[in-house]
Amino acid sequence: MNEQDINEYPPLEKIPNHVGIIMDGNGRWARSRGKPRLMGHRAGVENLRRVLRAAVELGIPTVTLYAFSTENWKRPEKEVRGLLRLLEESLISEVDELHKNGVQLRHIGNLDPLSANLKKQIHEALELTKDNTQLIANIAFNYGGRQEIVEAVRNIIAEGYTVDQITEEVVSAHLYTAGLPDLDLVIRTSGEMRISNFLIWQGAYAEYYIAPVFWPDFDKAELYKALQTYNQRDRRFGGLQKI
């Protein structure tokens, strides 16, 4: 399938409410071209812009993008600094366009270790776009699923909940994603079959799709293929009836 207008693709019966994307393979994409890994991350940001546009065209209401995990600090300092710089540059270059296109930016994760300047920039971008309704683009930066659950448990205890009051709804309401629907579909690029601590609670009943291409090559046609596969899945949520 070539890059083409999304309206030229056959219509899809179901559009997932919430798609999570593990944008994997930037490093290998760059290395396979004899380029430094950071070039792959740059290409990854370019691609993110294209995929967000396609998500709007396809009518996906919410996407959560795994940009930096709590484990990514273990990478060489140069790469970590490069990713932080890329986040800063992307905020400067992309926010106005995203705002114009009705994208509401959100963040999940822990911003504490970031510089005061970067934190301020992030808060300004979230504030600017907070009333937009075309697409919620939720950026997981310094995010870890286990850490999110630990933080939720701490807050629940600190707020004085009794044992009997603790329900799935209470836990969900204390996660970073409070108010967002659970994941319907998780896409991971580059052929790897791991969750890597990404939205482990919210993805309990999600469908998982592994794309065979590196993230910078995951284009509109690949997104469409993922949605087509999602449409062919039987979702039974543990029951016997197809939902």
Q: Does 174 bind ligand FPP (CB under 6 A)?
A: no
CA proximity to 14, closest of 231, 208, 242:
231
Nearer to ligand FPP, 12 or 86 (CB): 86
Catalytic option among 17, 72, 132, 197: 72
Q: Which residue has the tokens 């808060």?
A: 123
User: 108 and 143 in contact (C-beta within 8 Å)?
Assistant: yes
CB of 83 to ligand FPP, least distance (A): 5
Q: Does 44 bind ligand FPP (CB under 6 A)?
A: yes
Per CB under 6 A, the list member of 39, 52, 67, 98 interacting with ligand FPP is: 67
Q: How many CA atoms lie within 13 A of 217 on its CB side?
A: 14
User: 177 and 138 in contact (C-beta within 8 Å)?
Assistant: yes
Query: Residue 211: CB partners within 8 Å, gap ≥ 6?
Result: 187, 188, 189, 190, 191, 218, 222, 225, 226
Q: Does 95 bind ligand FPP (CB under 6 A)?
A: no
Q: Does 20 bind ligand FPP (CB under 6 A)?
A: no
24 belongs to the catalytic site: yes
Q: Does 28 bind ligand FPP (CB under 6 A)?
A: yes
Find the binding residues for ligand FPP in span 186-225 (CB under 6 A).
215
CB of 243 to ligand FPP, least distance (A): 32
Per CB under 6 A, the list member of 16, 27, 145, 203 interacting with ligand FPP is: 27
Residues annotated as catalytic are 24, 72
